[in-house]
Chains A and B, each alone.
Chain A
């Protein structure tokens, strides 16, 4: 069964450093997303991406965040200058038609 693949599974970084989280969505999907879950909190929407541009972004997704689909298979989330409060599990998701989302296993980001 096709699946969304995320790398790395764990990322530890120092505050102020840049991190790039990588995702390979399901191949025939057209909609791509990033969500995150801070420990003990809800899964929350960050950004949606369709037709090579951001469709919608949440208040969390400020200028420190960016997304890119550099080629036909990868979808990345970049955090330019990480803060302690960016520590969370980051989930990539993709969808064929924008309704049912398929999630990856997540990247646990720890900012020290």
Chain B
């Protein structure tokens, strides 16, 4: 199942700089996109989401951009902090019928922020 892809397995960034995590999707039915962060031995923690009617959503240091024509979204973290080091998952869903909350996840990108 390759409907949601995160092509970069890992990303290394210096503290204070911008982290950009990318995600591509193939299913044009997806209309809601989420980013989750996961630390070892914990469950995914919700970070930020965006509906397909928007192209940008911002929450503090986190901004998600959606390019529907390219079926691409990205998560920007500015400024990056060492505590941001974790696995970041992109997920997508569509609100049709009973599928609400049925998330399709990407493989994850390991972000390491160096002090």
Task: Decide: B32 and A56 in contact? CB cutoff 8 A.
Answer: no
Tell me whether B63 is interfacial, beta carbon within 8 Å. Answer: no
Contact partner of B103 (CB less than 8 A), chosen from A101, A102, A105, A106, is A101
Task: Decide: A99 and B43 in contact? CB cutoff 8 A.
Answer: no
How many residues on chain B are close to A (CB under 8 Å)? Answer: 26
Summed over the interface, the residue pairs from A and B with CB atoms below 8 Å come to a total of 64
How many residues on chain A are close to B (CB under 8 Å)? Answer: 24
Nearest CB on A from B39, distance (A): 10
The docked-state distance in angstroms from the alpha carbon of A55 to that of B93 is 15
Nearest CB on A from B83, distance (A): 17
Q: Which of A41-49, A67-75, A76-84 contacts B (4 or more CB under 8 A)?
A: A41-49
Task: Decide: B43 and A48 in contact? CB cutoff 8 A.
Answer: no
Which residues from chain B sit less than 8 Å from chain A, CB to CB? 1, 32, 34, 36, 41-46, 49, 89, 91, 93, 95, 98-108
Contacts A42-B1, A103-B44 known; list 5 others, CB within 8 Å.
Answer: A35-B103, A42-B105, A48-B102, A56-B98, A93-B101
Which residues from chain A sit less than 8 Å from chain B, CB to CB? 4, 6, 31, 33, 35, 42-45, 48, 55-56, 91, 93, 95, 98-106
